[in-house]
Copies of this chain bind each other. A is one copy, B any other.
Amino acid sequence: MNNFSFHNPTQVLFGKDTIPQIGEELAKRGHKKVLLLAGGGSIQQNGVYEHTVRSLEAAGIARAECWGVQANPVLSKVREAIALCHSEGVDAVLAVGGGSVLDSAKAVACGFYMNDVWAAFEKTEAITRALPLFTILTLSATGSEMNMFAVLTKPEEHKKWAIGHPALYPVVSIVDPSVQTSLPWRQTVCGGVDSLSHIMEFYFIGKPGDTTVAVNTAVSRTIIQSVDALQRSPEDYEARANLAWGSTLALNGISGCGLNFGEWSTHMLEHAVSAHHPQVAHAEGLAVLFPAWIEYCQASNPDTFRAWAERVWDSPTVEAGVAAFRNRLRQWEGPVRLADLGVDAAEIPAIADTAMLTQPLGSLRPLSRQDVVNILEIAAAA
């Protein structure tokens, strides 16, 4: 086990009918006016917006609203929201939505105090502080509700980059799994695959006997079982709740204790793919790329890859584990090859060039451009 520091100050309020607590949580910390950041309007259909607004009003919290955050959220919307924070004089940010909204809200929160928020992603200007961030999660997937990371895209430059800073931990995140009951099946699968992928970015760094590897095995199995249960019965609250909490545990620090800072090369490859194809859902990119990365890199830590196959997929070999993983993705109606994402094999060189902009790329096994090409070719042929 490697040395580590664990420090996660976010308070999570988890469970049914927890959204109406948001007003009081803001008021008791002295906030008067928030920027409410949201996506495309689904929260107006499922009651989340109404419960949120009613709670804010009951607690005397004023608000400005900024709508239209999209999947693979973009810099321009963040800049618009930062300008609104200044013109409206807000003292906190309230993100209501899924990971894209939460990540955008983190960029808004720190960008509020910066000359240029994109400079934080380019690592040319340091984050030093942020507006206090509160979140109401409507799609369990990215883990953004309980971590200090955010990913943003600048489509005109084919860049999809990440920031991380302790000031970006949400102060309070509310997770009511029951509001996820109305999600389309595809989004449920994306949430499950994204969460599994976060765990896998840590898993293969470890040793089979590690406490954290054991925990990650347990959370992985729970996520898989929960998605299976939701395929049978989308309104199964217990499965929604187990998937939601598993998703939070997948990227709140617990899954990485003693495993350095994780691997993250598959995420970088996915960012390269979706920088070229913004229509690709992050999780679907991961679904296609992770099995390929595992096949390619298994020799770098064979005992742990084999333990993953045995314990998570009840499979005797890594190859069988990868096959079981892909079979489950097919059963869930998810993509398994690059073509399923609308990505042509002819684009592999250009995607590899973009991937190589992140350096170093890979921790367990540092990846050369040729390695990236090889992995993408496995993903094309799957």
Contact = CB atoms under 8 A, between A and B. Distances in A.
Contacts of A239: 209
B219 A245 contact: no
A219 B254 CA distance: 12
A244 B222 CA distance: 24
A312 to B, nearest CB: 12
A14 B3 contact: yes
A16 B209 CA distance: 18
Given A1-B241, A241-B258, A246 B211 contact: yes
Contacts of A222: 209-211, 214
A32 interface: no
A139 B201 CA distance: 31
Contacts of A5: 11-14
A242 B1 contact: yes
Contact of A242 (B11, B209, B221): B209
A115 interface: no
A5 B14 CA distance: 6
A9 interface: yes
A189 to B, nearest CB: 18
Contact of A9 (B3, B9, B18, B258): B9
Contact of A211 (B13, B211, B245): B245
A5 B13 CA distance: 5
B210 A242 contact: yes
18 contacts: A1-B242, A1-B245, A3-B13, A3-B15, A5-B11, A5-B14, A6-B14, A207-B238, A209-B242, A211-B218, A211-B246, A211-B249, A212-B245, A215-B215, A215-B218, A215-B219, A217-B218, A254-B254
A7 interface: yes
Nearest to A9: B9
A209 B13 CA distance: 21
Interface string A232-268: 0000001101100110010000100110000000000
A11 B15 contact: no
A45 interface: no
Contact of A1 (B8, B210, B212, B238): B238
A2 interface: yes
A4 interface: yes
A246 B215 CA distance: 10
Interface string A188-217: 000000000000000000010111101101
Contacts of A14: 3-6, 257-258
A7 B15 contact: no
A1 B241 CA distance: 7
